[in-house]
Structure 1
């Protein structure tokens, strides 16, 4: 088996680390218990979290023991990393609900069986019972103000008009204590996380050295960027959420399918578990048959299956085919069809309405005369069936699941009509 650190490096999943030779030796000696933290700042993880989870899964498959920490305590405080202004504090019951949601998602992404099962931990279990005096005497005394102020996140906030509150300033101490607690409770000797967490990770490592006199390790994964240097995953609608209620499996699949040729091989390395040989074959296919988009299809299928399951992937693939005449629209369930047409031009109609009027209402045709001419040339379709009569009206039998019909002009111009 390839050395796990070499594998992570090849996939572009290592940014910074402490003594790499010592870490390599520790990983080679036997199972290492490691952890990564996820704060419940929303009701769902997003695609960026998948990078850290991917690192965890690779380490787990290499024979190491993962701890997935859900920040029930730190989520009440808020990490100032990457923020220009103070975070709004959420109510405790809201954070608890989000923590439960994140736990459920992590349980589907990691392996909780086998020789190295993952374990979910919540830092509220040890932070909640701690008194202020205990926090200041036992933990706070090990931190020097100069070191804390010099961290990039804090320094940038101090230079801003708003500054930083003591609440957010103390976040780094709470996260450091998490590492100490996990070291004591589970023998955890490696913390992994995003590169923006480097200062917090090192703080935990230093705390263990001061309190326990032991050396432990930290390692970060990079922010994933596109070939042009911009952040990967920015959409007009915001984050690419893993919760299907917040970001449908259809949209999720399409997001990955639309990855640019210049980026797709890198994203296959980062976000899938395909082998070097499989990725090399897809790279060859991309160079020889770019129009086939084999690499993009593999990426979309793998990540969607990992997050939403094989059944959801098959449904969205069927919907993608059906929209452009490659399958039966009537076989799709109402939810998948609704997700598939959610971003198409839309109009409302009624049974008995002439179809050419609906094409005009959706903007697919500029006028009735133009619509009749397109019918005559064989260019208009209802539910992927060619319309051969310019006087045809919408019938009850034309309705698809969910009470909609799909209009198409030519090969790629689509719209949907909701029937009232």
Structure 2
């Protein structure tokens, strides 16, 4: 990156590693210096919460507001009815309007922790594209908007091309998605003066479509800025683990498990993640990321505390660290561990079943392999018997199951 920005926002994006590409570095930079720039990210409501994979975008909106601009969180109440085909191998299952509304209310809880929705000039807006998409007249839309899109060009976008190259079906419904997303940008500019769309680098084609459409229909200059698609240093997709997505809502992933996810960051990712997911000074992020040996573990605790404080509050972060210390340093049980509560009529149960039910393994086969490879413990003692049966007497007090050194769960009688 040779461009040297003048605005605070672009400086943060470049220094902290948020920037993959921009449609016009200089044009956006100058707009950011002149006055308050409204910028948006669209989030389809396919689940009741967003997960860690969306956190890079949420942090971009947070920095946008912190540097004096106006974030817009656009909920895809309309587009979720269609489904984004980008880089997917199959069509997304269609949701009912009630499911979509339910998901939107869950997602809204996340944003309020990171950005401020107030009436000030930089107060964030929460919008829903159903506001304009639900009212569209199909024939008028085809005539006024559809004529600006070249099918040849749409077929050349990587997200569509990759699906067609693998000879996987792409429905006409999904093919319309990029037109609807482009139309969102046009409407947001028309209604709210929105000047920039942010997204992951897989959204580049969709963002450029919106910029072209807005220029053609209302002759306005707007911008696009993308973030890198994050993988961990060992090549895994950000936000996914062996036991599922790391959700940002506490009722879908406990603050303790969320904290543990960050505490278990690979050494090579610590500095990069501190820059992206915390607000610590860049120099301090670099210093902590360069530590080695046992010192890097202290940096991981700093990372886990900072990210958990932003998402769940300082008390939750402190409680998670205290539980972790109790579990790892004293071999204690800790109050916040994921807990499996069984009724008497579910007993006796095999230890393999309990390892699966408590989320420490995905299948009985995986649980047996864990035991065979000496990776399982029961109350901190090696678990060697895959045929062990647990009855009500064994659960007179809770038992602690462990998979490796870092993942634990409690099993108790309800």
- Using structure 2 for the length normalisation, give the TM-score: 0.80
Deviations for 1:135-155, whole angstroms, at most 9, x for unmatched residues? Answer: 212221221221112111122
Which residue does 1:206 correspond to in 2? 212
* 1:184 corresponds to which of 190, 193, 205: 190
Q: Is the 8 A contact 1:12 1:269 kept in 2?
A: yes
Write out per-residue CA displacement over residues 271-315 of structure 1, whole angstroms, 9 at most, x where no aligned residue.
Answer: 11111233244235x24x534612211111111111122222222
Give 1:17's aligned residue: 22
The match for 2:99 among 83, 94, 100 is 94
Q: Distance in 2 between matches of 1:206 and 1:243?
A: 36
Of residues 95, 106, 119, the one that matches 2:111 is 106
> Aligned residue for 1:248?
254
- The equivalent of 1:239 in structure 2 is 245
Do residues 48 (structure 1) and 47 (structure 2) align? no
Structure with larger Rg: 1
Partners of 1:212 and 1:65 in 2: CA distance: 22
CA contact (8 A) 1:344 1:416 kept: no
Runs of at least 4 residues off by over 4 Å? 325-330, 339-345, 359-363, 393-396, 405-408, 411-417
Look up the match of 1:161: 167
**Deviation, structure 1 residue 230:** 4.2
Distance in 2 between the 1:29 and 1:250 partners?
Answer: 43
In structure 1, stretches of 5+ residues that fail to align are: 346-358, 368-392
State the aligned residue count: 368
Residue 364 (structure 1) aligns with: 382
- Per the TM alignment, residue 233 of structure 1 is displaced from its structure 2 partner at its CA by 3.5
Structure-2 change in CA distance of 1:366 and 1:271 (3 Å): closer
- The answer to whether the Cα contact below 8 Å between 1:68 and 1:119 also exists between their aligned partners in 2 is yes
SS of match in other structure, 1:80: coil
User: Which residue is equivalent to 2:299?
Assistant: 295
State the match for 2:322 in structure 1.
318
> After superposition, what is the alpha-carbon deviation per residue over 1:171-223, rounded to whole angstroms, capped at 9, x for unaligned?
00100111011101111111111111100001100010000112110010011
What is the rounded CA distance, in whole Å, between the counterparts of 2:218 and 2:208 in structure 1?
15
- In the alignment, the residues of structure 2 paired with residue 143 and residue 41 of structure 1 have an alpha-carbon distance, to the nearest angstrom, of 27
Q: Conserved in 2, the CA contact under 8 Å of 1:362 and 1:416?
A: no
**1:35-61 CA distances to partner (integer Å, 9 max, x unpaired)?**
111001112101011001111111111
Given that residues 379 and 399 in structure 2 are in contact (C-alpha distance below 8 angstroms), is that contact kept between their aligned partners in structure 1?
A: no
SS of residue paired to 1:117: coil
Question: What does 1:18-167 correspond to in 2, within 5 Å?
Answer: 18-113=23-118, 115-167=121-173
Partner Cα distance (1:413, 1:29) in 2: 50
Matched, 1:269 2:275: yes
The answer to whether the Cα contact below 8 Å between 2:87 and 2:160 also exists between their aligned partners in 1 is no
Structure 1 residues 208, 282: CA separation in 2 closer, same or farther (over 3 Å shift)? same
Could you tell which deviates more after superposition, 93-102 or 228-237?
228-237
